[in-house]
Amino acid sequence: MTFASGDPTTLLLVRHGETALTPERRFSGSGGSDPELSATGRRQAEAVAGVLATLGPVHAVVSSPLRRCRETAAATAGKLGLEVQVAAGLREADFGVWEGLTFAEIRARYPEELAEWLASPAAVPGGTGESMDSVTRRVEESRDKLLAQFPGQRVLVVSHVAPLRTLVRLALGAPPESLFRMELAAASLSEVAYYPDGSASVRSLNDTAHLR
């Protein structure tokens, strides 16, 4: 693959820090509660802010509207003297009645629905939730707006597992099932560059060195 000349637009992808639900690996989407960062999550947000301050210029900070992301984003924005911009399209998926449950609990209570969700991006989780096809459409729209608004710049994007995995999947041109083969830890950092010719390059994925 050849890249067109000119500076790429770089999205620095950060998953929010931990909430009380994160260590238990409970589904926490946009259809349930809106938890704040835990004490560990706040420390993680400060660690992300510290490393981002050393990685070169950041021209904008954009966050999901959910509280855990806005709190994570605010830590970096404060260090950089930037305002947090909110993008509704970067919110987490709505998991319907699965909200607050672990994967094991969902598998025990809703085995057929879970199997369908894992097999098809068109499947609706939890009966009333949001399909991954729907997530993909709004994430694509949010991505395209950012690329148009910040050409050649570096933008911090603070979001959740499903939207961030989707951005990486689309950059790689990978199939939908690849979403379930990526690890994105709380407060992890990934980086995707988008070039003027329309191509993209995943530069890093799930970097957690700043948390050690």
Distance in angstroms (rounded) separating the CA atoms of residues 65 and 155: 16
Range of the domain at 51: 9-95+130-206
Q: Is 136 inside any structural domain? A: yes
CATH of the domain at 71: 3.40.50.1240
* 27 assigned to some structural domain: yes
The per-residue pLDDT for 4 is 52
> Is residue 182 a part of any domain in this protein?
yes
pTM for this model (two decimals): 0.95
Among residues of the chain, what percentage have pLDDT more than 70?
98
User: Which residues of the chain are under the pLDDT cut of 50?
Assistant: 1-3
Averaged pLDDT of the chain: 95
pLDDT in tens, 55-88: 889 999 999 999 999 999 999 999 999 999 999 9
Q: What positions carry a catalytic annotation?
A: 16, 92
